[in-house]
């Protein structure tokens, strides 16, 4: 089931794109995602295929060679990907987030040299904000940029970098080390082959194992001035402006996981018999299915509302945080029920809901934890 509400009329191009992505995800990504979860390869192996589908260039405007998707279409695509491969959904989400930042904040040279080729697998991107000591409190980040002749030199370490293992571009938020800009941050676009850059994989993740996560270390890495994204002291603004949008993407990843769990639940409840009848006929089981259906629909509505708000230029932090908070927590509840409906069968790796249960867990942690979303929502409500 699509993220798009029944009463909404999309253009034929939008519908065709969402349908094609859904079909591709079901036919090709699902078996791969199951293999990646077992440790056999990762989504980075199929970047050329994702690029060929246009998935690496979704929101870059058509004038710069992208597909120019509206955010509601983008959210519907992330949902379709996540139904079959939550790992691919976050991979595309982060790459898209960096492209969106460059589109809005980068100078002319980055637009012509980098953004016009954004859809190519060679331009795979990662977003580096979090550090070992700076997660929810991003402003406590200590990775430092010192201004030098012709650019900046970066020293420090970023944690939890999605796409970090294979990315060419690292959009890196750094604290400026000069008296005039004390406690200010800048955003720098660092290229993978820069001297002093070291990348290590983070092993042993609970879920989304097909998406690779890295620690990125910067040892006096030089970045030229034309790779400064936004104003010199605009780094946090650049980062935070993108987080609202990317939260809609994570919410759509969560709703895709919920959708997959619900489908598995319904199907198993129809087949499995106990006490001489299919378990779906027991009210306790059908209640779990009904509650999950309602929570999935509520998630989709909140996501759609937030995405349409972004498209109208009425960017509303409250709406994006509500979508992220609700859809991610619902995905965790729905995945819990999906395992419950499957009984012991749901507790082993062979059963897809076992993986979905683990995959769902991250959605209420990254791009701002549920606790942080509640802070944002309460703060926004207090303004009225």
Ligand X SMILES: Cc1cc2nc3c(=O)[nH]c(=O)nc-3n(C[C@H](O)[C@H](O)[C@H](O)COP(=O)(O)OP(=O)(O)OC[C@H]3O[C@@H](n4cnc5c(N)ncnc54)[C@H](O)[C@@H]3O)c2cc1C
Closest CA to 291 of 328, 333, 231, 244: 333
Under rule CB under 6 A, residue 188 binds ligand X:
no
13-32 core/surface letters (b: 16 or more CB in 10 A; e: else) = ebeebbeebbebbeebbbeb
Q: How far is the CB of 56 from ligand X (least distance, A)?
A: 16
Under rule CB under 6 A, residue 213 binds ligand X:
yes
Q: How far is the CB of 372 from ligand X (least distance, A)?
A: 6
- Among residues 32, 128, 289, 356, the one that binds ligand X under rule CB under 6 A: 128
Under rule CB under 6 A, residue 308 binds ligand X:
no
C-alpha distances (whole Å) from 359 to each of 59, 227, 246, 355 are: 25, 35, 18, 6
Q: In degrees rounded to 5, what are phi and psi of residue 145?
A: -115, 125
Under rule CB under 6 A, residue 130 binds ligand X:
yes
CB 239 within 8 A of CB 129: yes
Under rule CB under 6 A, residue 4 binds ligand X:
no
Active site residue 40: no
Give the binding-site size for ligand X (rule: CB under 6 A).
21
- Among residues 32, 51, 76, 94, the one that binds ligand X under rule CB under 6 A: 94
In angstroms, the CA 338 to CA 268 distance is 9
Under rule CB under 6 A, residue 328 binds ligand X:
no
Indicate the burial class of 276 (C-beta count within 10 angstroms; 0-12, 13-18, 19 or more). exposed
Give the number of other CB atoms < 10 A from CB of residue 116: 16
Closest CA to 256 of 47, 16, 18, 6: 18
CB 167 within 8 A of CB 155: no
Under rule CB under 6 A, residue 127 binds ligand X:
yes
Under rule CB under 6 A, residue 140 binds ligand X:
no
Under rule CB under 6 A, residue 60 binds ligand X:
no
Q: Smaller CB distance to ligand X: residue 92 or 285?
A: 92
Q: Which residue is nearest to ligand X (CB)?
A: 135
Q: Smaller CB distance to ligand X: residue 105 or 366?
A: 366
Q: How much helix, strand and coil, in percent to the nearest 5, is found in the chain?
A: 55, 15, 25
- Among residues 32, 76, 101, 129, the one that binds ligand X under rule CB under 6 A: 129
Give the number of other CB atoms < 10 A from CB of residue 282: 14
Under rule CB under 6 A, residue 136 binds ligand X:
yes
Under rule CB under 6 A, residue 369 binds ligand X:
yes
Q: How far is the CB of 365 from ligand X (least distance, A)?
A: 6
Under rule CB under 6 A, residue 371 binds ligand X:
yes
Question: Helical H runs in the chain?
Answer: 12-24, 30-37, 47-52, 71-84, 86-105, 108-113, 235-271, 283-311, 317-342, 352-361, 370-382
CB 208 within 8 A of CB 362: yes
Please identify, among the stretches 121-129, 144-152, 175-183, 223-231, the one whose residues bind ligand X according to the rule CB under 6 A. 121-129
Please identify, among the stretches 6-14, 104-112, 159-167, 289-297, the one whose residues bind ligand X according to the rule CB under 6 A. 159-167
Q: Smaller CB distance to ligand X: residue 30 or 375?
A: 375
Structure tokens at 108: 């002319």
Under rule CB under 6 A, residue 124 binds ligand X:
no
Please identify, among the stretches 80-88, 141-149, 155-163, 322-330, the one whose residues bind ligand X according to the rule CB under 6 A. 155-163
Q: Smaller CB distance to ligand X: residue 76 or 187?
A: 187
The catalytic position among 131, 367, 371, 380 is 367
C-alpha distances (whole Å) from 198 to each of 29, 165, 218 are: 30, 10, 7
- Among residues 74, 170, 326, 366, the one that binds ligand X under rule CB under 6 A: 366
Closest CA to 291 of 336, 257, 342: 336
Please identify, among the stretches 66-74, 174-182, 350-358, 371-379, the one whose residues bind ligand X according to the rule CB under 6 A. 371-379
Under rule CB under 6 A, residue 161 binds ligand X:
yes
Under rule CB under 6 A, residue 365 binds ligand X:
yes
- Determine the number of helices (DSSP H) and then strands (DSSP E) in the chain: 11, 10
Under rule CB under 6 A, residue 162 binds ligand X:
yes
List residues with catalytic annotation: 367
Applying CB under 6 A, the residues found at the interface with ligand X are: 94, 127-130, 135-136, 160-162, 205, 213, 362, 365-369, 371-372, 375
């Amino acid at each position: 089931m699509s993220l798009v509400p029944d009463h909404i009329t999309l253009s034929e191009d939008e519908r065709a794109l969402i349908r094609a992505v859904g079909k591709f995800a079901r036919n090709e990504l699902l078996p791969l995602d199951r293999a990646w979860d077992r440790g056999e390869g990762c989504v980075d192996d199929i970047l050329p295929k994702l690029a060929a589908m246009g998935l690496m260039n979704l929101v870059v405007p058509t004038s710069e060679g992208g597909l120019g998707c509206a955010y509601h279409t983008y959210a519907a695509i992330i949902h379709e990907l996540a139904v079959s491969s939550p790992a691919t959904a976050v991979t595309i989400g982060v790459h898209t987030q960096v492209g969106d930042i460059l589109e809005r904040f980068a100078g002319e040279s980055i637009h012509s040299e980098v953004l016009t080729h954004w859809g190519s697998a060679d331009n795979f991107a990662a977003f580096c904000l979090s550090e070992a000591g700076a997660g929810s409190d991003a402003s406590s980040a200590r990775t430092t940029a010192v201004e030098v002749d012709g650019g900046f030199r970066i020293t420090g370490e970023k944690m939890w970098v999605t796409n970090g293992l294979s990315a060419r571009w690292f959009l890196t938020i750094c604290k400026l080390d000069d008296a005039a800009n004390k406690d200010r941050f800048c955003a720098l676009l660092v290229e993978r082959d820069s001297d002093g850059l070291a990348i290590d994989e983070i092993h042993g993740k609970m879920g989304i194992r097909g998406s690779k996560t890295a620690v990125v270390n910067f040892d006096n890495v030089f970045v030229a001035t034309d790779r400064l994204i936004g104003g010199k002291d605009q780094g946090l603004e650049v980062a935070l402006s993108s987080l609202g949008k990317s939260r809609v993407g994570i919410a759509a990843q969560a709703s895709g996981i919920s959708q997959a769990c619900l489908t598995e639940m319904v199907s198993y409840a129809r087949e499995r018999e106990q006490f001489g009848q299919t378990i779906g006929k027991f009210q306790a089981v059908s209640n779990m299915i009904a509650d999950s259906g309602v929570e999935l629909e509520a998630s989709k509505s909140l996501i759609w509302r937030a995405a349409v708000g972004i498209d109208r230029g009425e960017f509303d932090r409250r709406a994006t945080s509500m979508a992220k908070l609700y859809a991610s927590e619902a995905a965790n509840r729905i995945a819990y029920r999906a395992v419950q409906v499957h009984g012991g069968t749901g507790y082993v790796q062979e059963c897809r809901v076992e993986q979905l249960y683990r995959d769902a867990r991250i959605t209420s942690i990254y791009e701002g934890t549920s606790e942080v979303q509640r802070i944002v929502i309460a703060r926004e409500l207090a303004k009225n």
